Amino acid sequence: MNMPASELQVNQANMAHVSAPLLNIRARIERLDKLPPMPEMTQKIIQLNANPDAHVNELVNVIQLDPSLASQVMRYATSPFFSYRGNVDSLNTAITRVLGYNTVLNLALGATAAKPFKIPKNVPLGLDAFWRHAVFSAAIAQALSSALPNEIRPPAGMAYLAGLLHNFGHLLLGHLFKSEFLILNKFIVKEPEKSVEEIELEVIGVDHGSIGAWLMKAWKMPEEVIVAAQEHHNEDYRGEYAVYPQLVLLTDRLLKAHDIGDAPNSHLPLATLDSLELGEYQAVTIADRILNDCENLDVMAQQFAS
């Protein structure tokens, strides 16, 4: 599952204005000869994903190996925004009657992939902030995706995964370069008028989207999620799988209006809305519906971060 770090794909347009970053993390990344291995649980889930004959019971058996993950699936299934009126009394019920196989598969994939990374908690990009942003982003991205026209609508589970893991680069950065990660966080506190991406390029010479996409490629994660990680701050991206970074971009901006996440602002670009055939009021209404369940999502985020 390892890949030479020289294959790191950095957005050259973003890098053009960076001549001498304070900390040369990019050069150090390129000298790495291996990455953290993919967790065993994640490998099991990817194997299930690759098996067209996999059954719900197989997914249940894998999830039950991790009691905290099983608890998170059950909590998500009982969230008010699913409006399920029956009794969610088992993982099987949560999957077959409420969430769906693909959504649970991708929730498990995202949760287990991120679990091994240990980074500081109480800093702007720390573990608590990462998971709160990730859980809220996943829920909103999934809800927005269900409102898209059929011809461009992605599978809800894949939209969920894109939302959950789009800031994966922060985990890898904090895991591999702890001192530099803390310095980056100090600059974020010191210069609140600047976007996180702008500070990253000035301080470490590479943005978290590029770092996250690099690890995902090494782990052979779904291409849709890789593109979402790489391009989720790029309003102009119209390449393959553009619907995923566009959904995440809107999700980030919607959350920024509630002081959650690292988006540069809360403006919803008209071109992005038009591309997804969403109205601004529609998008805000969907996000507000999800945020009404913030207590439940906060508990999920705390479980992921613990």
Torsion of CA 169, 219, 131, 55, to 10 degrees: 160
Per-residue pLDDT of the chain (306 residues; tens, 9 = 90+): 444 444 444 444 444 444 577 777 777 777 776 778 889 999 999 999 888 888 999 999 999 999 989 998 998 888 877 778 889 999 999 999 999 999 899 999 999 999 889 899 989 999 999 999 999 999 999 999 999 999 999 987 899 999 999 999 999 999 989 999 999 999 999 999 999 999 999 999 899 999 999 999 989 899 999 999 999 999 999 999 999 999 999 999 999 999 999 999 999 999 999 999 999 999 999 999 999 878 888 988 888 888
> How far is 229 from 210, CA to CA, in rounded Å?
7
The full DSSP string for 214-242 is HHHHHTT--HHHHHHHHHTT-TT--STTT
Query: pTM of the prediction?
Result: 0.87
27 C-beta neighbours (distance < 10 Å), count = 11
Q: For residue 214, what are the contacts with CB-CB under 8 A and spacing of at least 6? A: 3, 5, 7, 8, 9, 29, 169, 172
CB atoms within 10 A of CB 42: 22
pLDDT at 23: 78
Q: What is the pLDDT of residue 19?
A: 53
Spatial separation of the C-alpha atoms in residues 274 and 269, rounded to whole Å:
9
Complete domains list, the chain, with CATH: 12-36+119-305 (1.10.3210.10), 37-116 (no CATH)
Neighbours of 187 (CB within 10 A): 18
Distance between CA atoms of residues 223 and 230, nearest Å: 10
- Taking residue 140's Cβ as centre, other Cβ atoms within 10 Å add up to 28
